[in-house]
Amino acid sequence: MMKEELEIANRPDNTAFTQQRLPAWQPMLSAGIVIPGFVLIGLAFIGIGVALFITSQNITVLEKDYTGVETTSDCYKCSNPSVKNCTCKLDFSLSNLFEGPVFFYYGLSNYFQSQRSYGASKDEYQLSGDLDYFKTPVSACSPYQYDANQNPIVPCGSLANSMFNDTFKLYQIVNGTKKLVPFDGKGIAWWTDYNIKYRNPSVTPLKNAFNGTVKPSFWSKPAYELDTSDPSNNGFVNQDFLVWMRRAALPDFRKLYRRITEGDYASGLPAGNYSLEIAYNYPVLSFDGRKKVVFSNVSWMGGKNQFLGIAYLVVGSLCVVMSMVMLIVYAKFKFPEDD
């Protein structure tokens, strides 16, 4: 008796929804639907692929390696790690206008930022401005948690310690004189990194928040002095720091360094001769890495990327081919009731 009452209590309501009596629609796929569908999808993909490919082809990209491996390179003298405060230059010419806005990147090769322990070597609490973790960084930052004198390192960890520190100045050579091309470094980091993920301590001046701490061993200056020209661009919200802390997925990558959008260069880089002065600080030869600079403009689809257009073309072509194959099979082996 109790068992019957329990079954009745657990019984779903006698409604169309709970008893699965709702009307349903199941498409009956036939050759007259599938074959034209494949053709339309294929043509749509081919059209999108052609548009993406042509757009990508119209994007201008200029890459220059400055690792200094070749003895003929001016940066060869700086490639020795024992050489400090070395400056080299990279000369190049433009035969046509490099249409703007121009984006200037630095690139690294054979650099695995996606390595698990490397990416985990940071203190999220410290980077969010929690002063308690300035004195006691998390153990994940080891071996860049404390210095030899047991002073806490801020920011700690391998990721912050290895921040890219080459700097660049671009000059246009006009009648034998050098004209500085202005760089714009504002807003180059992700909005969420600058406004949400990374925060400075609520201490004024910012320098006081770092009392009793030391800078990362690879850094030439502490976090609160990363940008002496703009006090708001220091600490954990420094644009270059934020760009570096967002790790790359692949070993060959490039990161945005500056934009060229101001003054006489708002419409791009005019044809002519240029000289890029490089403060060569970042060592890469120890792990067989390479360094490069990249000038590029963008389109509505972003930067130059031929893969996306080719992928759409391949998938669209396969859809059209498959539709033709299915049409042939249907014409030859169709069932009598389909006549």
Instruction: Tell me the C-alpha distance between 49 and 57, whole Å.
Output: 12
Per the CB < 8 A criterion, the answer to whether 312 and 46 are in contact is yes
Q: What is the pLDDT of residue 335?
A: 58
Instruction: Tell me the C-alpha distance between 282 and 239, whole Å.
Output: 18
Return the axis-axis angle of helices 31-57 and 306-333, rounded to nearest 10°.
Answer: 160
Q: What is the pLDDT of residue 336?
A: 57
Q: What is the dihedral of CA 211, 216, 222, 223, to 10 degrees?
A: -90
Q: Summarize pLDDT for 115-149 with one digit per residue, the tens.
A: 999 999 999 999 999 999 999 999 999 999 999 99
Instruction: Tell me the C-alpha distance between 63 and 172, whole Å.
Output: 17
Q: Domains of the chain: which residue ranges?
A: 65-96+112-248+272-290
Would you say how long the chain is, in residues? 339
Q: Angle CA(270)–CA(273)–CA(276) in degrees, nearest 5?
A: 100
Q: What is the pLDDT of residue 8?
A: 65
Q: What is the pLDDT of residue 33?
A: 86
3-state secondary structure the chain: CHHHHHHHHCCCCCCCCCCCCCCCCCCCCCHHHHHHHHHHHHHHHHHHHHHHHHHHHCCCEEEEECCCCCCCCHHHHHCCCCCCCEEEEEEEEECCCEECCEEEEEEEECCCCCCHHHHHCCCHHHHCCCCHHHHCCCHHHCCCCECCCCCEECCCCHHHHCCCCCEEEEEEEECCEEEECCCECCCCCCHHHHHHHCCCCCCCCHHHHHCCCECCCCCCCCHHHCCCCCHHHCHHHCHHHHHHHCCCCCCCEEEEEEEECCHHHCCEECCEEEEEEEEECCCCHHHCCEEEEEEECCECCECCCHHHHHHHHHHHHHHHHHHHHHHHHHHHHCCHHHC
- With a cut of 70, list the residues of the chain below it in pLDDT: 1-9, 335-339
Q: How many CB atoms lie within 10 A of CB 306?
A: 12
Q: What is the dihedral of CA 323, 325, 330, 333, to 10 degrees?
A: -170
Q: What is the pLDDT of residue 30?
A: 82
Q: What is the pLDDT of residue 2?
A: 56
Instruction: Tell me the C-alpha distance between 105 and 254, whole Å.
Output: 6
Per the CB < 8 A criterion, the answer to whether 111 and 251 are in contact is yes
